[in-house]
Amino acid sequence: MIIEQLFKESVYDEELKNYLLDFILYRFEEHDSWNLDYPLQELAYEIIKDTSYNFIQLFKNKSLSDFNNLKKYHLDKLKEYEDTVLSIVSEMEKIIETLKNQKEIWYGGNYGLPHKIKKLKNIRNLTFDKITKILQFLESKKYFKTNHQEITEQIFNKYLKLNQILEIKNWKTYKTHWFAYKSLQTSALISKLWEIGEKIKEENKFILMSDIHIKIKNFLENEPPEYLYWRLGNRYHYFLIDEFQDTSETQYFNLKPLIETVITTKPLEASALFVGDVKQSIYRWRGSQPSLLQNLKHDQIFKNYSRRCLF
């Protein structure tokens, strides 16, 4: 329903249509696929997970224009860095233009200097380890089996420039822009899908189970647990939580203050039993955190009242 509405709106919203086209091209470049069904279903699923709530709140007031401006900023930074690298690589290729097809003169044959230089053209898909190996090869000056001292020095001088550009600090900055750009491709659509989803829920007057967890979390952030007990009209003294390995962080955030309140105020009248097995965790797809069970015994509250809390 949400994805269907997204496509309906794109018919009349030129900006949304262009963003979807950009996303299709991005998916094709990254995954060689024009199919949008599966990636959009994945993104739509993110908006119904309570674990995605905080992330979505960061972007919910951003327009597609805002996302496009951010994308352009990071893309410009990427292009600036890549153009600088490609410029030096092109200069290297010109230096060896007349020799590059003479495979017998290169150390490494087909995998010698021309091959190494060519790999740098695809810098966006190279790891820093691979770049380091290429730079180490260039630093060695072992390009030729025969004497080509003048060309060797020319290539080495280009390497010195390249080495400065590709140093780890500059590389990390470059990859940060790349990851930010990739993230923005999907973040904008998640934000738009969330906006559509909220409208659908409001029009049809329903909420999701994940919305309940979030509403309780927001409530407890602004009110003490005592107030929640008062609203419930009851106070619980005994807690049994089964399958705890499938608890999400939001659910634990909501549960902990209720247990903590009764355990600390009336320890002799309250108890908590947590049952679970991290090896049986099957709900990670909806945000469960098995590590919560592992870390429970280190929680100071439960540690101080270990006789009243079993796990």
Per-residue pLDDT for 86 more than 90? yes
| Domain-embedded: residue 130 | yes
Give tens-digit pLDDT for 198-234.
888 888 888 888 888 888 888 888 888 777 777 776 7
261 and 223 within one domain = yes
Buried b (16+ CB within 10 A) or exposed e, 99-138: bbeeeebbeeeeebbbebbebbeebeebeeeebeebbebb
User: Among 171, 195, 221, where does a domain finish?
Assistant: 171
- pLDDT at residue 83, as a whole number: 94
| Residues belonging to the chain | 311
| Domain-embedded: residue 259 | yes
How sure is the predictor about 289, in pLDDT bands with cuts at 50, 70 and 90? Answer: confident
- pLDDT at residue 274, as a whole number: 84
Give tens-digit pLDDT for 5-20.
887 888 888 888 888 8
Q: pTM of the prediction? A: 0.70
80 and 48 within one domain = no
217 and 199 within one domain = no
139 and 216 within one domain = no
| Domain-embedded: residue 147 | yes
236 and 162 within one domain = no
79 and 63 within one domain = no
Mean pLDDT within 164-172? 90
| CATH value at residue 305 | 3.40.50.300
How sure is the predictor about 311, in pLDDT bands with cuts at 50, 70 and 90? Answer: low
96 and 52 within one domain = no
| Domain-embedded: residue 185 | yes
How sure is the predictor about 84, in pLDDT bands with cuts at 50, 70 and 90? Answer: very high
Report the C-alpha gap between 182 and 30 in whole angstroms.
Answer: 10
- pLDDT at residue 36, as a whole number: 74
Name the residue range of residue 64's domain: 2-69+181-204
Report the C-alpha gap between 180 and 105 in whole angstroms.
Answer: 43
Q: In total, how many domains does the chain have?
A: 3
Give tens-digit pLDDT for 98-139.
776 777 777 777 778 888 888 888 888 888 899 999 899 889
96 and 13 within one domain = no
Please report, for the chain, how many H helices and E strands are present, in that order: 14, 3
Give tens-digit pLDDT for 6-57.
878 888 888 888 888 888 887 777 666 667 777 788 888 877 777 777 778 8
Mean pLDDT within 288-300? 78
Report the C-alpha gap between 175 and 85 in whole angstroms.
Answer: 14
How sure is the predictor about 297, in pLDDT bands with cuts at 50, 70 and 90? Answer: confident
291 and 218 within one domain = yes
DSSP code at position 112: S
303 and 218 within one domain = yes
| Domain-embedded: residue 231 | yes
| Domain-embedded: residue 247 | yes
224 and 297 within one domain = yes
Q: Which two structure tokens, joined as six digits, stand for 283?
A: 């709900």
| Domain-embedded: residue 176 | no
Q: Contact 267/303 with Cβ under 8 angstroms?
A: no
For the stretch 293-300, contacts whose Cβ atoms lie closer than 8 Å and that sit 24 or more positions apart, written own/partner, are 293/244, 293/245, 293/247, 296/244
SS3 assignment, position 273: strand
| Domain-embedded: residue 132 | yes
93 and 164 within one domain = yes
User: Among 150, 171, 192, where does a domain finish?
Assistant: 171
